[in-house]
Amino acid sequence: MPLIIADTFADSLEKLTKQEQSAVKQTAFDLQVNPDNPGLSFHRIDKSKDKYFWSVRVNRELRVIIHKRGGSVLLAYVDHHDDAYKWAEKRKLEVHPRTGAAQILVLRERVEEVVIRRVVEQTVAKPPLFASENDDTLLDCGVPEDWFDEVRKATEDTLLDICRFLPEEASEALLNLATGHRPEKRARPVDADPFQHPDAKRRFWALNEGQDLREAIKASWEKMNLKVDRSQRDLVSGYFARGRTNEEREADRADRDFSDPDALVFRRKKRGPMGSL
């Protein structure tokens, strides 16, 4: 059975020391060979709202967070004990009801204060961008249902703050929608593997039998960059240019890489759905 790797796991693994990475890779190999190995120390994350999140002991300090359901085992995150547990307590894995893509979601109630604080900081109230959009439109954008209320409250000043906590495909679609480009109508595939959906393949990939963990992650990194075509790049550039202070532009620029003007790449700091909060 292939082991599924999330980009959040790959990112967190890269932050560990070489020695720690070696220990984690050995644990991942043991999970790949036999996910029911009695020698592996499993512990359910009791405070997580997703009952399928478990921790696996690597050593005295490190824990791998996995999502284990039926015959599926997904490597979601790795960190020192307390930080690993906190990460799992703030997230859940769901299949989007419209697109059918698997998504690791940040729980809305865990980040409400962040968005509210940003709203309070605004000196001039601006109208919400998506207040009149119905549920079908937001589903076609790939927005998780739990986030409908927050998305409908988004203004020009708060949209980027909210997008940090959404899957990439939803962020893309909302930026397009904010600039007048409606999403295509979608129908959920019947009996499709949620990890094989094109949107899911941005953040999940399978480690096949005998494949080295490090090489699998390295080979998949190029798939993790969000490329924006020329027309969308112009639209986004125009969106960011409207009525923003130098301080606000610098804060937004910190989350992006404009070094290549011909191939704008959104390189999210690992916050929201892509990393630790």
CA gap 182, 195 in Å, rounded? 25
pLDDT at residue 71, as a whole number: 75
Contacts 24+ apart (CB under 8 A), 259-264: 263/227, 264/227, 264/228, 264/233, 264/236
Any idea of the CA torsion for 85, 97, 219, 268, to the nearest 10 degrees? Answer: -60
pLDDT at residue 174, as a whole number: 96
Task: State whether residue 226 is helix, strand or coil.
Answer: strand
pLDDT at residue 269, as a whole number: 37
Q: Which residues, 6+ apart, have CB-to-CB distance to 261 below 8 Å? A: none
pLDDT at residue 250, as a whole number: 57
* CATH fold for the domain made of 3-96+199-224: YaeB-like fold (3.30.2310)
Q: Domain ranges for the chain, please list them.
A: 3-96+199-224, 102-187+225-272
Beta bridge partners of 204: 6
Residue 231's nearest CA partner among 176, 154, 163, 164 is: 176
Q: Is the dihedral of CA 250, 251, 257, 258 positive or negative?
A: negative
Give the pLDDT of the chain (277 residues) as one tens digit per residue: 568 999 999 889 989 999 999 999 889 888 887 877 777 889 999 999 899 999 999 999 999 999 998 778 899 999 999 999 999 999 999 999 999 999 999 987 656 555 545 555 554 568 899 999 999 999 999 999 999 999 999 998 889 888 989 999 999 999 999 999 999 998 878 888 899 999 999 899 877 666 666 666 665 544 444 333 444 444 444 444 444 455 655 555 454 443 443 433 333 333 333 343 4
CA gap 55, 75 in Å, rounded? 10
pTM: 0.73
Q: For residue 215, count other CB atoms closer than 10 A to its CB.
A: 10
Alpha helices in the chain (DSSP H): 7-14, 18-33, 81-89, 108-121, 135-140, 148-153, 159-163, 168-178, 213-220, 230-241, 246-253
CA gap 213, 207 in Å, rounded? 7
In this structure, which amino acid lies at residue 202?
Answer: R
Q: Which residues, 6+ apart, have CB-to-CB distance to 85 below 8 Å? A: 45, 47, 55, 63
Token pair for 225: 């960059």
CA gap 162, 240 in Å, rounded? 15
pLDDT at residue 32, as a whole number: 81
